[in-house]
Amino acid sequence: MKSAATRFQALWEVLEPPNPKGIPAPSDMREQLMTAYGFPRGDQGIDNSRESAEEERNFAMACLRGEGGTEGQFLWESNNLTSVLASEIGLLPPPADNDSPMRPWFGGDWASMAELVIYIADNQLSSITRPFGRTPTELIRVYPIEWDTAARTQLNLLEARIKLGTRGHKDILLQNKDAKKLGHGQPSRKPTESEWISLCVPIDKLYLISNQLPEGPQSGIPANLWDFIPSGEPGDEVT
């Protein structure tokens, strides 16, 4: 599997194409989105056929209707975006050699992923060229991070710099949380030793949390609504 940073970049470019004037080909978007989620896991290629796009669309639409697909679509790897959607739902088993749990980039917001899958499939099936209309910061919940250890740590707050792909960064405050015990004789890992964090909402929707807090964003994201990813290698747990 490619590195988490590479996969994050691939996802970002699906949602915010580098060339703002042109919309990438559906096959390119499909390939990038599958790369972002660590597919294909084996040697098989990606199926960019029309039939495959129809299957993707039908599966995503059925999920949005509340019907869903078959066990096979949810549980077994395929060579198209049904596996990406199944990963976001959380049912597709992790790769056999994974030591860590998977963390889908949208945090399990499968409905948004279904819409993205439909968008890509429609682009192929109907040759439409409209933009997707939703940005990475409206959807992604797992981000690379830098900790500002020199900054304030009073009031039990941590200051973090979220790296936003091509958009620079955003500084946020987080209420501190305990170190994680990793087990198997490994030492605990503190939040500030991690290089990726997972939020309960995308960056652009942090207001849903901060609007509830007495001092807004200055109160920090409550510790129960964010998590640091403790793996040794950055992004081991990502997707």
Partner 1 sequence: MRIESQSLPSYLKSQGVSWDVSNTKEEWKKILMFPDEDWTIDRGSAYGGYIDSQEQTILDPSRVLARMLCVKIDRALRLKVEKLAIKCIQGLRKEGSYRQVAFEEKQIPFSWILRIAHDGDADSWDPGDFLVYAKLEGGDELKPDIEEIRSIFPKLFDGKDLETSGVRNDSVRAITDVFNENYPLFLERPTLHISAPKFHKVWSKMIGDEDKERTEEGEKAKRQWSMRVNGLFEKLCRNSSSDSVMLQSGGGHVLLLAPATDIKAYSEDLLRKMRQKFVKELGGWAPLLYASWEDDGVAHWKPLTRKTPDEIIRALSTEYDSPSEEKKRGIAGVHWAAFKYGQDGKTDDEISEAIKEGRDEDARFYLDVIGLGEYCWPKPQDPSVDNGIGELSGGPNDWPDPSDWGVPSRPRAKAISGFKNSRKITPVIESTFGLIFAKHRPSHIEAMGGDEMIFQMPSSEWKLLLERVEKHCIQLHSTIFDNDQRLLWWAICLRDRSNQDFTAMKDGVRTLMGEDRVRLTRFVNPIFPEFLVPDDPVDDVLPDDPVDDNGWLMDHRARVLPESTNRCPYSLTHSLVGPDEDGDFYCGDCNVWLGPVFECPDCGLDGEFYCEECDEFMFPDTSCPDCGSAFGDWILEETLHCHECQKEYYGTLWRIPPEDQS
Interface residues with partner 1 (CB under 8 A)?
61-72, 74-77, 89-91, 93-94, 96, 101-104, 107-111, 115, 118-119, 133, 141, 198-201, 208-209, 212-215, 222, 224-225, 227, 237
Which residue reads 């940073």 in tokens?
5
Amino acid at 59: F
Q: Tell me whether residue 149 or residue 211 sits nearer to partner 1 (CB atom).
A: 211
Q: How far is the CB of 141 from partner 1 (least distance, A)?
A: 6
- Cα(144)–Cα(152) distance, rounded to whole angstroms? 20
DSSP states along 142-204? EEEEEE-TTS--GGGEEEEEEE-GGG-EEEEEEE--PPBP--TTPPPB-GGG-SEEEESS-GG
Cα separation, 149 vs 156, in Å, equals 13
Between 148 and 233, CB nearer to partner 1: 233
CB atoms within 10 A of CB 21: 5
Instruction: Give 5 or 102: the residue with its C-beta nearer to partner 1.
Output: 102
> H or E element: which one contains 10?
helix 4-15
When the beta carbons of 62 and 151 are compared against partner 1, the nearer one is 62
Helix (H) / strand (E) element for 63: namely helix 50-64
State the nearest-atom distance from the C-beta of 221 to partner 1, in Å: 9
93/101 Cα distance (integer angstroms): 10
Nearer CB in complex with partner 1: 110/147: 110
Least distance to partner 1, CB of residue 115, Å: 6
Shortest Cβ 150–partner 1 spacing (Å): 27
Q: How far is the CB of 35 from partner 1 (least distance, A)?
A: 19
